[in-house]
Chain A
Amino acid sequence: MAPEMSEKTQSSRATRLARWLVSGPPLLFLAVFFLLPSAIMVLASFRYPGEFGGLAPLFSTVPGVLHGLTFETYQFFFSDIIYVQVFLKSFLVALATTLICLLLAYPLALLIARSPKKSRDLMVLLVILPFASNFLVRVYAWMILLGPQAALSQAINAVLALFGLTPVHLLFSPFAVLVGMVYVHLPFMVLPLYTNLEKHDPMLLDAAQDCGANAWQRFWRITFPLSMPGILSGAALVFIPVLGMFAIPDILGGTGDMLIGNLIKEQFLGTRDWPFGSTLSIMLTLAVLAVAWLAARLGRGGKYYA
């Protein structure tokens, strides 16, 4: 009896060790690069800003020097409606980008998923090909494409002139920001959708047709609901990064097109108000967590796809 038991505990000790060896490094990574910075950020948000950037000391005996902990940054955030407005605007931009990406990506993903196996891989490669060049370079390219001298602007303004309307400026506008956001994030919607659609059993569509469903009903009642997990992960992969994005509004947007990302960047690199930057970051993180929680809740119906 006894030796068996010790063997058992030994083997369970071995599996426990193996489990730590496998899950240890990723956990360590998360601790060092996510938990620790988050903790620092939370702490920083309750501090005063330093005189020349950074943080004011926690303890100081010098009179007149701000020190210690405070709720000031949070009071400041809610005292001015403009910050909430920037948050709302960022949410709207993220929502619009997600919806436009979904509308553009769905037909594409469906087309790829229903192509012959051989051409599918090539098409997926084409979808991810833009990642081969630098993200900033691609966004700057849009600056040229949307510029006043470019064919697009010229054509639109020529048409507008026909009707006697004032010419429009495409670049440095919310429109340009949206174009850039959609362009950059489209593959993140296409790939999860394709991965989902590719797994659908074509027999189900035959069965639906056999039951009297026409092409639209087959899509709406079978393909679409079954693709919900793909839609949700695509939406999360687009919505969350767009919410924090600052480079695209910086490059393609006008002065009025500031989003949360720009605001946060401004606190750290511009006005050097680290505590307020931290507060904004925490607000953003909470917002993202709320969205992720909502997506997970909505996606719970996906249990029958296994």
Chain B
Amino acid sequence: MAMLEIKNVTRRFGDFSAVENVSLSIESGEFFTLLGPSGCGKTTILRMLAGFDLPDAGQILLDGKDMVDTPPEKRPVRTVFQNYALFPHMTVAQNVAFPLKMARIPAAVQRKQLQEALEQVHLTDKAAAYPHELSGGQKQRVALARGLVSRPRLLLLDEPLGALDAKLREEMQVDLINLQRDVGITFVFVTHAQVEALALSHRIAVMRAGKVEQVDEPSRLYSAPCNRFVADFIGHINLLDASVLQAAHGHHVHLDIAGLGEVLAPPHVGLASGGKGYFAIRPEQVRIGVHEEVRELKNHFSATVQQFLYRGDVTVYKVRLDNGMVLEALLPNAAPGRARLFEVGDTVSVGWRHDAGVFLVA
């Protein structure tokens, strides 16, 4: 049995279901992320895990024990709140030691664990500072240390990096990964930023309107989204209206893309000929060029460059296919002079491998 079992949990506010029949199993030591747009019920789930809210239906089992009768202060669960919620009248050391004090840990042990926690978040020299004297990133780390200091079974993090600027956020992501690996505590992390979720998590649950759409490892989620919502939410993706010509034919399926023709796509269980849906392919999987190499791909079409966006590391081309659909293709700018290979209006070939992309049932 998994360490944390969320079984068919539903939470309603009036007629509205903020969380609807959600089931998740989270393993010990896992970095698990709830990812979804704002308002999809992520915080509501965390609040039920922490004990501030109770499910209207379903069960939450921690180490096999139903948590419904355990109040927040008795759960071996800590939360890192979105706005940190540091105690303004206590120093960094007092803030971090607060859970130890509440647990009536002997003073000598308290000192040792406090010291350890401060070292883990590199705040030993700020022990005597008050929260208002700290930067956003430092406050964030105090909140983390306070969450970790008493070695909870579960650490809940509600958009903890949301208030930091982009560069600091990236640094904190690296710190978080290392910290989680070092302490080995199970993290349940909440974010609406898919890049963050992909970078940090062992597994991700993608949520939408109170329901879980897909639970998978980041790479699986990215390469094999189970539906249009997940495909669209995680990263960028080209979606082309398509129908299945031939469900299983060796190592690929044959799809018909409206007005464009036949393409080959990787096989997919449960497909039936004639099924309608979308062919989804990532911009970085789309090759663009004028040379033979593109035309040698099994799937290739001619197109016109409509627009390009120079992003530094990559250039994104928007090309119009002959059927009027617009496709995004991404070219890395690894070599000098690559930034602007094509001009608006150029006729180019676009193509992709027969094992790239995925068919999504409508």
* Partner-B contacts on A (CB < 8 A): 201, 203-204, 206-214, 217, 221-222, 225-226, 301, 303-306
Contact = CB atoms under 8 A, between A and B. Distances in A.
Given A210-B50, A211-B102, A212-B103, A305 B78 contact: no
Contacts of B130: 304
Contact of B81 (A206, A222, A301, A305): A206
B83 A203 contact: yes
Contacts of B59: none
Contacts of B150: 211-212
Nearest to A212: B102
Given A206-B81, A304-B132, A226 B73 contact: no
Contacts of A226: 88-89
B138 to A, nearest CB: 15
B98 A304 contact: no
Contacts of B99: 211-212
A222 B87 CA distance: 7
Between B71, B79, B98, B146, the greatest number of chain A beta carbons within 10 A of the residue's beta carbon is seen for B98
Contacts of A204: 85, 87-88
B52 interface: yes
Given A209-B72, A212-B102, A203 B89 contact: no
Contact of A207 (B71, B77, B81): B81
B158 to A, nearest CB: 11
Contact of B85 (A206, A212, A217, A225): A206
B277 interface: no
A134 B330 CA distance: 80
A213 to B, nearest CB: 5
17 contacts: A203-B81, A206-B79, A207-B81, A207-B87, A210-B52, A210-B79, A211-B98, A211-B146, A213-B73, A213-B102, A217-B102, A221-B87, A222-B87, A225-B89, A226-B88, A301-B89, A305-B88
Interface of chain A: mostly helix, strand, loop or mixed: helix
Nearest to A213: B102
Interface string B67-97: 0000111100111010101111100000000
Contacts of B79: 206-207, 210
Nearest to B133: A304
Contacts of B88: 204, 226, 304-305
A188 B79 CA distance: 39
Give 9 nearest A-B pairs by CB, closest first: A212-B102, A207-B85, A211-B99, A203-B85, A304-B88, A209-B72, A210-B79, A212-B73, A225-B89
Nearest to B82: A203
Contact of B131 (A221, A225, A301, A304): A304
Interface residues of B, number: 25
Interface in B34-92: 50, 52, 71-74, 77-79, 81, 83, 85-89
Contacts of A207: 79, 81, 85-87
Contacts of B86: 207
Between A209, A212, A301, A303, the greatest number of chain B beta carbons within 10 A of the residue's beta carbon is seen for A212
Interface string B128-141: 00111000000000
Nearest to B99: A211
A119 B84 CA distance: 30
A212 B79 CA distance: 11
Nearest to A305: B88
A204 B132 CA distance: 15
A28 to B, nearest CB: 37
Nearest to B94: A221
A219 to B, nearest CB: 13
A229 B132 CA distance: 17
A212 B88 CA distance: 18
Contacts of B72: 206, 209-210
Contacts of B103: 212
Contacts of B52: 206, 209-210
B132 A208 contact: no
Contacts of B98: 208, 211, 213, 221
A244 to B, nearest CB: 33
B240 to A, nearest CB: 46
A227 to B, nearest CB: 10
A209 B130 CA distance: 21
Nearest to B98: A211
Contacts of A203: 81, 83, 85
Contact of A214 (B73, B132, B146): B73
Between B50, B52, B73, B86, the greatest number of chain A beta carbons within 10 A of the residue's beta carbon is seen for B73
B85 A201 contact: yes
Nearest to A302: B89
A214 B72 CA distance: 9
A160 B87 CA distance: 51
Interface in B175-203: none
A201 B82 CA distance: 13
Given A203-B81, A210-B77, 16 more contacts: A206-B81, A207-B85, A207-B86, A207-B87, A209-B71, A210-B78, A211-B78, A211-B98, A211-B99, A211-B150, A212-B99, A217-B102, A225-B89, A226-B88, A304-B89, A304-B132
A79 to B, nearest CB: 48
A306 B131 CA distance: 11
Contacts of B89: 225-226, 301, 304-305
A196 B79 CA distance: 26
Interface in B116-132: 130-132
A256 B19 CA distance: 70
B333 to A, nearest CB: 45
Contact of A306 (B71, B73, B74, B132): B132
Nearest to A214: B73
